[in-house]
Amino acid sequence: MAVEYEELAGSPVERGTFSEFSATMQVICDWGDRHALMREWVGQLRGYPHANSGSIPAVPATSASARPFEGEIQSGGIVLGTDGPLAQYEKALVTIEFGVTQVGTLEVKASGPGQPLGWRQIAYAFTEDFEPISEFQTVSHEGFVWSDGKALEPEEAPGKQTVGFNYTLTRNYLFGDNITPLLDLVDKVNDLPLIGRTPLLNGMYFPAETLLFTVPTVHTRAISLYSVEFLEFTMHLHYRASGWNKFWRPDKKVYGPPTQIPIPVIAVGDWDSIHIEAEGTSGEAGVQYKNFKLADFLVL
């Protein structure tokens, strides 16, 4: 059963910096219920209740302290303690601290038949890291010749370097049932375009199927006073501009703008999709082969 309390009028104090938001609030409860009340707020990481304007998220309670409420202290009541008489109190004044180090949002734009248009926001406590990377792969030598017409040998096959980055996002203050939808994203790519709204990714646009969710890391932390455990969940996303369901095709022609007739070929070699051969045909492309399944990344 939830502990009954009332807020001390005028008690909320809010503080904000460039990257942090914190607040305190004081509530009054029965003296004998003070520990249960502290457990409810801190043990369950309840959010700051005055964050209802939409401008800040409901940041979690991080600590609480209690003392006798001066307006309700009994002047003469005492009880016998182990080492002597103890004062008797009616009410407790509990000060609750709320805070989060960084706040950001990830926006997902819905598109497609039957999906509502518009932007959806999620706020969360997080830390993040951004690391540029490059991948090297060897292209088949077949079909290539040197400038004098001599065919390339297998050991002379050209290389292809793909530039991308690893993005690490750590969400704090999660409970076990919160990570189930996140674990379902492992080895999948984003089905819709994403626009980053965190400090590192602010304004960056990620087309569909360019972010791969790899194996996450889960750390468990315990609030020993209340025997409540919560999780620190680190997600690793690998960005590839070409998309994760396309493959390098050395013989694919890249055409210039259609300002000339015929349209000139300006390069050879590009990323292309692979398809299952259409049933009953010879060489016609059917359903696209996708090495990685698609998933809704809105749960991030």
Q: H or E segment at 34?
A: helix 34-38
Rg of the chain, C-alpha, whole Å:
29
C-alpha–C-alpha distance, residues 100 and 172, integer Å: 10
pLDDT at 16: 81
Helix (H, G, I), strand (E, B) or coil at 283: coil
**CB 49, CB 25: distance < 8 Å:** yes
**Mean pLDDT within 244-271:** 80
User: CA-based angle 73:85:87, to the nearest 5?
Assistant: 10
Share of the chain above pLDDT 90, in %: 22
Token readout for 218 is 């889960």
pLDDT at 221: 63
Residue 28, CB-side half-sphere exposure with 13 Å CA sphere: 15
pLDDT at 1: 67
Helices (H), 161-230: 180-183
Whether the per-residue pLDDT at 263 is higher than 60: the answer is yes
Helix (H, G, I), strand (E, B) or coil at 194: strand
Whether the per-residue pLDDT at 129 is higher than 90: the answer is no
**CB 256, CB 263: distance < 8 Å:** yes
Token readout for 154 is 């297998």
Stronger pLDDT, 79 or 184, i.e. the higher one: 184
Q: With DSSP H G I counted as helix, E B as strand and the rest as coil, what are the percentages for the chain, rounded to 5?
A: 10, 50, 40
Confidence category of residue 185, pLDDT binned at 50, 70, 90: very high
Which sequence spans correspond to the domains of the chain? 6-100, 103-244+294-299, 247-290
Most confident of 112-121, 180-189, 201-210, 279-288: 180-189
* pLDDT tens digits, one per residue of 1-14: 689 999 999 999 99
pLDDT at 222: 58
pLDDT at 281: 83
* pLDDT tens digits, one per residue of 35-90: 999 988 886 667 788 876 555 655 778 889 999 997 654 444 555 545 667 788 88
Helix (H, G, I), strand (E, B) or coil at 211: strand
Stronger pLDDT, 206 or 112, i.e. the higher one: 206
C-alpha–C-alpha distance, residues 82 and 182, integer Å: 51
**CB 237, CB 131: distance < 8 Å:** no
pLDDT at 68: 92
* pLDDT tens digits, one per residue of 95-127: 999 886 444 444 334 344 443 433 333 344 667
Helix (H, G, I), strand (E, B) or coil at 156: helix
CB atoms within 10 A of CB 228: 15
Could you give the maximum distance between any two Cα atoms of the chain, in Å? Answer: 107
Stronger pLDDT, 291 or 137, i.e. the higher one: 291
Share of the chain above pLDDT 70, in %: 75
Query: How far from each other are the two terminal CA atoms of the chain, in whole angstroms?
Result: 32
Token readout for 166 is 């690893």
C-alpha–C-alpha distance, residues 57 and 60, integer Å: 9
